[in-house]
Amino acid sequence: MSSVMWFRRDLRTLDHPALMAAIADGPVVPVFVIDPRLWDSSGDVRLAYLCASLRSLNESFGGNLVIRRGDPVEVIPALCREAGATSVHVSADFAPYGMQRDAQVEAALGDFPLVRTGSPYAVAPGRVTKDDGTAYRVFTPFYRAWFRHGWRAPAEAPDPSLSWIASGIASDPLPEHAPPAGVAMPVAGESTAWDRWEEFRANALGDYSEARNRPDIDGTSFLSHHLKWGEIHPRSLLADLGESDEVYRKEICWREFYADVLHQAPSSVRDSLDDRFDRMKWADDDAAYAAWAEGRTGYPFVDAGMRQLRAEGWMHNRVRMVVASFLVKDLHLPWQRGAREFMSWLHDGDIASNTHGWQWTAGCGTDASPFYRVFNPVMQGLKFDPNGDYVRRYIPELAQLDGARAHEPWDQPDGYALGYPERIVDHKAEREVALSDYSVLKEMKDG
């Protein structure tokens, strides 16, 4: 007899409670199901990263990772019968589609139990509530309650002396998917995640509270893609943090807060939590949208961010907020369009974090930045990229502008010498339009 370990967003072997539960049930058949519903809706960057991560996981299992293609409702029960398995083990999924899929698989399994152990989070969504049992809608009290709740210590690692991996089960080929031309992909896999974490702890964690806002330097942990695919567990990171590391701990908690919000309000993946925003009169300007998406707005800090996205499949978090504010409040386009653009390019594209990060900036989400807070793209650039290094890294048309001059090419005699586009809107004027839109919004009734 054997057990099936069905991997999803937990592509690792360390600190993996579900894997340890599967090992306890007998030799493990590790499987990843290529679900057409998820595969076909994912961007090329995310698929390329997933394929690389699966190759790494397969190496961890000595080439015994089983790949199957199809609807999990059909694939998982069939695999159980083929392998003579007595149980299926998973990390619990709390996203809307994942919960629905798992319920259907559980029903289809019949006598085979679907055992849920652990989740992609230190504290599973739905666990942290107010005293009356309702969900938090504001981050700071959620963080306090989350911290008081606490989390388990990291799970034990599989005993390397045990022969616990089942072999001889037929597998489809490992999937291959190329990233878009020109996108520089990071190295995937569990060992890379741990190497990055150790490097960050040793060299940058102490300066994180200030350096995290600077896109011109290596001040972030750059672990979001590893966390998204479960190559490392947030509990493992939390176990290494000390009392002085609260700012980084809060960043981990933001990820868990947004997962909790999505769990409580599944429709928020497409609808504004404050539905007045979906009833506003938004612009319908494809040309402006294309200029934003392709990094041609004429605002260097915005354009550098969007070009970084298309060059690396990633964008610095401070810049994500600025480009999101520009789309919604300077171009007056709905946040949903921007959220879709991000998900199509990000290798760390996480539906909860992406959706609610956008809603935060747009002013319509939980604990949101107020709509009247309009990021000034020039001042943000001067503050967080003071020497213009980030801008010049991604915008070669501004290479001739040294220092902070790169942020204001319109004020430089040679600002447009290399073909950088002029501004497509006047930020000051569009800010007034946004504030006027907000005044109309305030007059709307909720619901």
Of residues 164, 335, 345, 360, which has the active-site annotation? 335
Is 251 assigned a catalytic role?
Answer: yes
* 430 in the same domain as 346: yes
* 127 in the same domain as 74: no
* 134 in the same domain as 276: no
DSSP label at 194? H
Is 345 assigned a catalytic role?
Answer: no
* 434 in the same domain as 360: yes
Here the tokens at position 133 are 């049992």
Of residues 282, 387, 397, 408, which has the active-site annotation? 282
DSSP for 27-64 reads SEEEEEEE-HHHHTTS-HHHHHHHHHHHHHHHHHTTT-
In a domain? residue 178: no
Tell me: the pLDDT tens digits for 148-207? Answer: 999 999 999 998 888 899 988 999 999 999 999 999 999 999 999 999 999 999 999 999
* 260 in the same domain as 330: no
Share of the chain above pLDDT 70, in %: 99
The whole-number average pLDDT for the span 229-250 is: 98
Tell me: the pLDDT tens digits for 247-262? Answer: 999 999 999 999 999 9
Of residues 194, 199, 246, 317, which has the active-site annotation? 317
Of residues 6, 314, 358, 360, which has the active-site annotation? 358
In a domain? residue 110: yes
Is 397 assigned a catalytic role?
Answer: no
Long-range own/partner contacts, residues 205-213 (CB < 8 A, 24 or more apart): 205/245, 205/248, 206/244, 208/245, 208/247, 208/248, 209/247, 212/247, 212/251, 212/317, 212/318, 213/318, 213/384
Question: If pLDDT is split at 50, 70 and 90, which confidence band does 446 have?
Answer: low
Is 254 assigned a catalytic role?
Answer: yes
The whole-number average pLDDT for the span 129-135 is: 95
In a domain? residue 164: no
pLDDT at 447: 52
Of residues 106, 231, 251, 312, which has the active-site annotation? 251
- For residue 319, the enclosing domain spans 268-442
Of residues 254, 314, 345, 360, which has the active-site annotation? 254
Predicted confidence (pLDDT) at residue 219 exceeds the cutoff of 70: yes
Total number of domains constituting the chain? 3
* 277 in the same domain as 256: no
In a domain? residue 447: no
DSSP label at 446? P
| Residue 375 phi, psi dihedral angles, 5° rounding | -65, 130
How many whole angstroms separate alpha carbon 347 and alpha carbon 224?
9
Predicted confidence (pLDDT) at residue 101 exceeds the cutoff of 70: yes
The whole-number average pLDDT for the span 212-216 is: 97
Is 229 assigned a catalytic role?
Answer: no
Is 39 assigned a catalytic role?
Answer: no
Tell me: the pLDDT tens digits for 336-393? Answer: 999 999 999 999 999 999 999 999 999 998 876 777 889 999 999 999 999 999 999 9
Question: How many C-beta atoms surround the C-beta of residue 347 within 10 A?
Answer: 26
Question: If pLDDT is split at 50, 70 and 90, which confidence band does 138 have?
Answer: very high
Compute the Cα dihedral for 417, 420, 422, 428 and give only its sign: negative
pLDDT at 445: 65
Question: If pLDDT is split at 50, 70 and 90, which confidence band does 1 have?
Answer: confident
* 297 in the same domain as 437: yes
pTM value is 0.95
pLDDT at 376: 97
* 139 in the same domain as 279: no
Q: Which CATH number is 8's domain given?
A: 3.40.50.620
Find the helix or strand (DSSP H, E) in which 100 lies: helix 96-109
